[in-house]
Amino acid sequence: MKPSANDDYPATPKSPYLTTAELAGLLRTNPETVRYWRHTGYGPLGLKVGRHVLYARADVETWIAKRQAEAEHGSGRA
């Protein structure tokens, strides 16, 4: 896996945005999976900034809450 240029700039706890690598770490998955989810429209909304993609923490938290609600009700992919 080729490291992304923004992997060198970890978010601070106060940063409102996550990089693809940080989101993958949070979700305990591979960054390529996060990229695939974005490509297919399954993952949280990503904001393209130049050549980089950033994910707003608020959007990520909303997306996770939705996945959790779907899992609890037995609908959708968990």
Three-class HEC string of 9-52: CCCCCCCCEEEHHHHHHHHCCCHHHHHHHHHHCCCCCCEEECCE
**Could you tell me the pTM of the whole model?**
0.76
Instruction: Evaluate whether 45 touches 56 at the Cβ level (below 8 Å).
Output: yes
Weakly modelled stretches of the chain, pLDDT under 50: 1, 78
pLDDT of residue 2: 54
pLDDT of residue 78: 47
Distance CA 32, CA 73 (A): 28
pLDDT of residue 53: 97
